Each structure stands twice: as C-alpha cells, then as structure tokens.
Structure 1
C-alpha cells in the first residue's frame, strides 16, 4: 500500500494522470490503442476500434451507453496520461460481477512508443489499484500476451499473480484440403449430443471454462443445456447451436458444442474427461470441421497446453495465448 502511494506521489511534473473523460478522450484512446497494438490487432480488435470511433462521433449514443458502463467492454472508465499536450497513455477499467462479488478488469494498457520506459504504465496501473481499493472490489484481473515479458514483469512487481493461461485456436483454411488428417478416428464414435450427456458435459465445462477468466467470452452454459430452458434461451437470444458427443464403446469421452457468433469466427466449446482429453478433442474437432460450413472460421478458447497436439492435428493453429493475472483487494470472508 505504501509503495503504491509513494509511486503515485512521485509523478513527473511534465505529465498529468487523470480520469478518462469519454466525451473528449474516446477518439484519442482509439488512436492510441490502434497504434500500440497494430501488430496484434485481429478482425475483432479492428471492429472494437471502429466501435469506439463511431461512438465518439455520436454524443447522444455516448451519453446513453455511458449510463451502462458497468455492462460494457468499451473503454468508458479508466485513467489516461497527458504529456506535451497529448494523450499518450491509457488504462481502461471494466467492472464485472462473479458470484455476487465485484471485480475490475484492467484492459487497453497503452503508452505511445516515444513515451515508454518513463514509468507511465506503472503509474496508470498503480492508480487503478488505488481506485479498486477505494471501491472495495474483491480483486483486480488483467490478461497479457505470454510473449510480452516487460508487461508481465511490471504486473508481477505490482503484486499480480498468474492464475491461468488460455490459448485461442483458429481453424486452418478449408477443411477439404486436409481430409486425410480429418478422417474419422475408428477408435471413437461421434454422435449427436443426447440430453443425458448434459450432466457430465456441464461438469467438464465448469473445469475448462471457469467464470473468473471466461466471463468476457460469449460462452453461456444456458445456451447449451437441453430441454425447454435451453431451447427458450436459444430462441430469445437468437443463438444457433450444434453439439456432438464422443464415445468409446459405452463410455462418454467428451462433448463439443458449436454456436454462431457475430464476431470474426464461430465458437467451439470443448468439454472432456481429463483421462480422454486428447482422444476426444481430436475426434470431436475433426468431426465438427467435416460437418460445419467452411465459410466461417472456427475459434476454440482452451486452457493453454492442454490437448495441444490433438487440436493442431484437427486443423487448428494458435492465434494467441493470454496469461491471466490477478491481485486480491478485499479478503474473502471464511
């Protein structure tokens, strides 16, 4: 606590750390984020930047959506760093709830290249932690690409601890170009998911998709459940799903779910028993690629390192691996 306080008190006189003002800062934040993440921006990232710019040009919509800042992934709250008459640093704060507890996600930490190595990112992050303590949130989370070693070192020095690593996989090209690799595995029988498979699927999904690190994804277990509840959820939310189960004899190995998405790629959600993970992943992913339309890429978010060879053999490549880190703010009641 003392370290953070001292850090915030020793800011350079040439720079100003202040709260984000979306009415005047949003365009500058969009420019900064685009500049700093140009090498890693994918189609969804470019769409996110465009959403910011569109919002900045519409004061009425901006005022309306700002009232829902606690339910938006857009940068409507946070801190910026001004220097030499320019906005050169940014940090976005996104509030969210997990099991009734309030959390904050740090995102869009960006510093203009000419102003790096001056402690701006450190001061922005320290300010975010001070903000979290003042509001009594449970914890602060963030994610960072695993190759970004300077940022990882910075966050560790401020008390963040690694909690998980997750890889986003994307399908390769047209599946018909790799029919040999995608041929059915004779050891495994793949069928449509049965209602009675849901109990095991739900348990495996909870292990692979813990809410602390997947709340921001379009993963919704309600969309996958069988029966009237699941059907009603899919109808009301206009979600199309398909699901398959993998079997060895009479033993359920795993379940794969596919759902449509408004993002660049449609989503796959893989749930398997731990002992059969590689076998189930290979068979289910290959089956999905044979069954689904080739016009849409497929995206699989999965714990890093798990079933990696099987996923690659099914025609997927690594898009990115993110390290999820957190720091506890408020002690949990026992």
Structure 2
C-alpha cells in the first residue's frame, strides 16, 4: 500500500459530509434501520447548508484514494466524565476492502484518543460481522456485553382486549426496588451508552410535571402476581422510529415478568408506533418472540483500555 500519509487524513466538516453519507449508505444499506436512514437524511441536509451552519458534533478520519473517500471512521467524544469516546461508522467501500484500510483508520483513532488521555474507547459491532469482530480483537478490544434490540410491528397487534389485572402504575415507594432491578438489566458498563436517564425515573415532583407538560413523556408500570412483584416497565415516547421500553424484571421471575409486561405494553402503547427494547442477547429469546417482538440486531459492545 502507498504511504499512509497520502491517504489518511482527519474528517473535514461540512466538506466531507455528502461523500461520507454516500459511503455509509453503500456499506450499510442492507442492515440500516429507519433511524439509520433518518441519520443519513439529516447528515445530507446539514452538508448542503452554507459553511458555518450549526451541525452535528462529529470528528474522525477518512481514507482517500483515486480522488474519493473510500474509508471512514467517526468518533463521538463524551460530554461528561462518566462516559467514554465511541468509535462509530467504520466503513470501507467494497472495492477497497481486504487491504487494511479499516485497521489503519482504527489505529489512527486509538492513537488520537490516547493523546487526549482518555482511559478507554468503546465501539459496537454487529454479532454477524465476523471480519470486523476479528479485527477489533486483534487490536486489543475486549467484549464487554452482547445486547439485542427487539422491536414490534404495530400492524400485527391483536385487537383482543388484554387483561391489565396484574399491571398498575408504579408507586413512589417502589422506586428503590425498581432501581435495583434496572441496574441488573442495564448495568453501568452499558447504561452509559444508552438513551437511558435514571434521574427521570425517580418519583419527583419535577419529573411528574415534566411528564404532564413535555412532548416526550414516560410512564412507569408495576407487574405483580399474588402480591409478589414480577417487575417494572417504563414506556418512553421518542422522536425516533420507535418508542422505548425499559424493562426491569424480578431476576428470579424474569419469564413471568416478560409474559405479563410485554403484551400489556404492546396493547397499551404499540398500536400506532413500534416499540423497541434493549436486552441481554440470548436471554429469553423465545419469550420475546412469543410476545410479538422480533430481533432487529444484536451488537457486541467492546472496550479497549488506553
């Protein structure tokens, strides 16, 4: 390969926006969800604006060859000390693969982040992308979690009334138990990179007021069986393709909790919009399928200490 310095350079915004968006579409069109397509639409719209217009906070590196961008890597830098930099959108044009471009881009990003004294860098890779997984393992990334995103299709929801006799709104005194079970399913090593704000779950007056006045409310529910807690579930409205469900089952009764909470949330909130839930991969997959959810993707979360 020719000298790396003639091909690898920092991402330039907004000049590179359109070319990077085109490359991402070429590489990931077969696996992108509706939110991914919306991300590309917004990227292209921003790239068409005059220079200096406000846009997304992006940094990274590209690989240029034959007069065009054929490789890309972006970095999302943390806004708080409780989060880590995240490598995203590692893409190499199909005609230029198997030449080490993705490796060089990733090594450059690692070197860059080391120079800023970040303690670690994270990335997510599809579980079925074995070539990328092997690359990251060779670079020293270690698997920390596997998470599956499950979604619903509103058109498949039965119109049969569902019994809510074992579901009611969560009460304030149940928050400590709710919090404990939330942390079990969404531990710190994955919660930091999810759109999950535990502070909004607390039974506070300001949170209740925000629910009543806000455009994107969230509501909490408790499931129980013969006076025993089965678990909790939060429905959160979003501006994305799907609304989110945050489930916190009793670790000793997870199947029973899922069988009560998932159908009830579909009946109550899933008739008009899809619902999306993030859950540890390989755990109770048959239960999710039986409750009308299907797997959208499974991601391996990987960390490299710097």
How many residues of Structure 1 are paired with residues of Structure 2 in the alignment? 305
- Number of the residue aligned with 1:93: 75
Matches for 1:1-334 after TM superposition, within 5 Å: 12-13=2-3, 16-60=7-51, 63-65=53-55, 69=57, 76-97=58-79, 100-101=81-82, 103-177=84-158, 179=160, 184=163, 189-234=166-211, 238-329=215-306
Per-residue CA shift, 1:281-301, capped at 9, x if unaligned? Answer: 111111111222511111111
User: 8 Å contact 1:162–1:325 — kept in the other structure?
Assistant: yes
Q: Extract unaligned runs of 5+ from structure 1.
A: 1-10, 70-75, 330-334
In 2, the alpha carbon distance for the partners of 1:246 and 1:12 equals 62
Let me know the Cα RMSD of the aligned residues: 2.2
Q: Extract unaligned runs of 5+ from structure 2.
A: none
Higher mean displacement: 263-272 or 238-247: 238-247
Question: Scaled by the length of structure 2, what TM-score is found?
Answer: 0.92
User: 8 Å contact 1:101–1:137 — kept in the other structure?
Assistant: no
Instruction: Note the C-alpha offset of 1:233.
Output: 4.2
Call closer, same or farther: CA 1:65–1:236 in 2, change over 3 Å.
farther
In 2, the alpha carbon distance for the partners of 1:246 and 1:97 equals 36
* More helix per residue: 1
Call closer, same or farther: CA 1:246–1:102 in 2, change over 3 Å.
closer
Instruction: Note the C-alpha offset of 1:236.
Output: 6.8
Question: Scaled by the length of structure 1, what TM-score is found?
Answer: 0.85
Per-residue CA shift, 1:177-214, capped at 9, x if unaligned? Answer: 385xx9559xx822221222211111111222234434
Superposed structure 1 runs of 4+ greater than 4 Å apart? 182-185
In 2, the alpha carbon distance for the partners of 1:53 and 1:308 equals 37
Instruction: Note the C-alpha offset of 1:101.
Output: 4.7
Call closer, same or farther: CA 1:89–1:236 in 2, change over 3 Å.
farther
* SS class of match (2:132): helix
Instruction: Note the C-alpha offset of 1:216.
Output: 4.1
Call closer, same or farther: CA 1:172–1:293 in 2, change over 3 Å.
closer
In 2, the alpha carbon distance for the partners of 1:229 and 1:169 equals 31
User: 8 Å contact 1:223–1:234 — kept in the other structure?
Assistant: no
User: 8 Å contact 1:101–1:138 — kept in the other structure?
Assistant: no
* SS class of match (1:93): strand
Per-residue CA shift, 1:15-64, capped at 9, x if unaligned? Answer: 5111111131111100000110010111110100011101111135x543
